[in-house]
Every structure is written in structure tokens, then in C-alpha cells.
């Protein structure tokens, strides 16, 4: 379980997360919604210790992530909205292999994970291409592949479908389905609930740094407009 307890965080003097408490159980498919600037990205960046709380704590499977950031980053995979920021290598294959290499896996296992992850996002056969020569959507898919190759227990995706063409979108959704079926917890930050709402177990909504909504997807529908989120049925 990911347990966020009484988390408060400021940028400079401005409170961006205000006493947030939230638990995400193993295997749950949870959507995180809310208006621009409500604190969604700031919250998820705490889940694997990319940010440190001013007060409160985040625990993953009972371990405080600030005390064990490497364990947290292995257990909680993260795909950001601007994939360029998260690449560490020049080519697609080297970047996707980077995480598994750091887990100390043997070469055959690394190669298998890279191959599977690239196939899952439709980038098979493109391992040797330079990341800076890919389109925005292809970069987004490479970033997702990087997280998939880590085989995390919890996977956080910030707007994973934005900018993807229809076949890539379908491929990513179908891969999310199989991860979920295999027991991976998914936390998807999004402004667009289409194709996600019906898959989710839960919708959490943020407003001004606080949790303003936490409900099952059907019940949450009535409260989406108040959070500036479009009803996926419209
Ligand atoms: N590096 C930073 N330095 C200072 N303020 C920041 C920084 N990053 C975010 N903020 C501020 O923190 C607040 C919350 O930002 P955050 O990115 O968490 O919101 P969000 O809900 O993810 O928004 P969006 O839907 O636009 O992605 C915003 O007001 C933003 O301006």
C-alpha cells in the first residue's frame, strides 16, 4: 500500500499540498483529477521521493520513501507528462534498459524486459533510434516503455494518453489492462477520463492542494464538473 499521511508541501512560501492523506492499496486502478495547479503532479512526485514533504510522510509497503528512495523508485514507477525530462540515455533501447540495468538483472532478463516493453508501446524494432529524433507521441511511448521495463508494483502515469494517436492509445490502454489484471496498482493523473473512467476502481480529485473528492467512479461522476473535469459520458 502507498500511504500518504498529513502531507504538507510548499514551493517557496506557498502551500501547494495542504495536509493530504491518501492510501492507495495494492492492485487498485485509481484516477487522480483536478484543475490545473491543484497539486496532482506535486503529490505524485512525493510517492517515490522525488520531493520531500515539509511535514507528514509517504510510506510504500510500510517503508518511509524519504529513508529509502531507491527502494521507492523500484517499487513505484513513474511516467511524467513531459517525457524529455526523464530520459537518461541517447537511444530508445539504452534508455529503456537503464532502469533494469540498475536493478542488477542479468543481460538476458534486461533484453527480455526491453523487448517486451517496446512491443507493448509499439516501438519494437526501434531500440537503436535516437530519442531526440522521435516525435512527441513516440517519446511519450518510450517513456512509458521505460517504466514498464522496471515491472513496478505501483505505476503512476501523468497524462499517459495525451498526444498519442489512436493505435498507440489502444495499445497503451490494453497494456494497462494487462498490468492491472496482473495486480499492478495504477495511478493515472488525467484531465480526460475517456477510456479510463470505466477501467478505474476509484477517482480522487484535488482542489487547491487538498483532496476534494474520493469516490468510486460512478458516484464521482456527479462531482467532476465542480473540479473542472469533463464528464466522460459527454
Ligand atoms: N518547481 C516549481 N516551483 C514553484 N512552484 C511550482 C513548481 N512546480 C509546481 N509549482 C506550483 O505548484 C502548484 C501545483 O502544481 P502541480 O504541477 O502539482 O499542479 P497540477 O495539478 O499537476 O496541474 P496541471 O493539471 O496543470 O498539470 C502550481 O501552482 C504550480 O505553479
The domain of 75 spans 2-227
Instruction: Name which residue sits closest to atom 19 of ligand 1, judged by CA.
Output: 37
- Is residue 233 a part of any domain in this protein? no
Ligand 1 centroid from CA 129, angstroms: 32
- Is residue 234 a part of any domain in this protein? no
CA distance 233 to 194: 8
Distances in whole angstroms, Cα of residue 137 to Cα of each of 6, 79, 83, 154, 168: 36, 13, 9, 23, 9
Q: How much of the chain is helix, strand and coil, in % rounded to 5?
A: 40, 25, 35
153-190 pLDDT, tens per residue? 999 999 988 888 898 889 889 889 989 999 999 999 99
Q: What CATH number is given to the structural domain containing 80?
A: 3.40.50.300
Ligand 1 centroid from CA 10, angstroms: 11
Atom of ligand 1 nearest to the CA of 209: 14
Beta-bridge mates of residue 33:
205
Pocket residues for ligand 1 (CB within 6 Å)? 11, 16, 34, 36-42
- Is residue 232 a part of any domain in this protein? no
58-98 pLDDT, tens per residue? 999 999 999 988 888 889 999 987 777 789 899 999 999 99
- Is residue 101 a part of any domain in this protein? yes
Helices (H), the chain: 40-47, 69-75, 92-102, 107-120, 136-148, 166-181, 217-220
Per the structure, the count of domains in the chain is 1
String of DSSP letters for 27-38 = T-EEEEE-STTS
- Is residue 7 a part of any domain in this protein? yes
Amino acid at each position: 500500500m502507498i500511504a500518504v499521511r498529513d502531507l504538507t508541501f510548499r514551493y517557496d512560501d506557498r502551500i501547494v499540498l495542504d495536509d493530504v492523506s491518501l492510501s492507495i492499496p495494492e492492485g487498485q486502478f485509481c484516477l487522480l483529477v483536478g484543475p490545473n495547479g491543484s497539486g496532482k503532479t506535486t503529490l505524485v512526485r512525493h510517492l517515490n521521493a522525488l520531493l520531500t514533504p515539509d511535514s507528514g510522510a509517504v510510506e510504500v509497503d510500510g517503508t518511509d520513501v524519504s529513508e529509502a528512495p531507491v527502494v521507492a523508485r523500484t517499487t513505484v514507477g513513474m511516467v511524467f507528462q513531459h517525457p524529455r525530462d526523464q530520459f537518461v540515455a541517447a537511444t530508445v533501447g539504452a534508455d529503456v534498459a537503464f532502469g533494469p540495468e540498475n536493478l542488477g538483472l542479468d543481460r538476458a532478463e534486461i533484453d527480455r524486459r526491453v523487448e517486451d516493453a517496446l512491443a507493448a508501446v509499439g516501438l519494437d524494432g526501434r531500440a537503436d533510434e535516437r530519442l531526440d529524433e522521435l516525435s512527441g507521441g513516440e517519446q511519450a511511448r518510450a517513456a512509458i516503455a521505460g517504466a514498464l521495463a522496471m515491472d513496478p508494483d505501483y505505476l503512476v502515469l501523468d497524462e499517459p494518453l495525451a498526444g498519442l494517436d489512436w493505435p498507440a492509445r489502444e495499445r497503451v490502454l490494453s497494456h494497462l489492462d494487462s498490468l492491472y489484471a496482473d495486480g499492478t496498482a495504477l495511478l493515472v493523473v488525467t484531465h480526460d477520463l475517456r477510456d479510463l473512467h470505466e477501467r478505474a476502481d476509484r477517482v480522487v480529485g484535488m482542489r487547491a492542494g487538498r483532496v476534494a473528492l474520493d469516490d468510486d467512479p460512478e458516484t464521482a461522476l456527479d462531482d467532476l464538473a465542480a473540479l473542472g473535469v469533463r464528464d466522460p459520458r459527454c
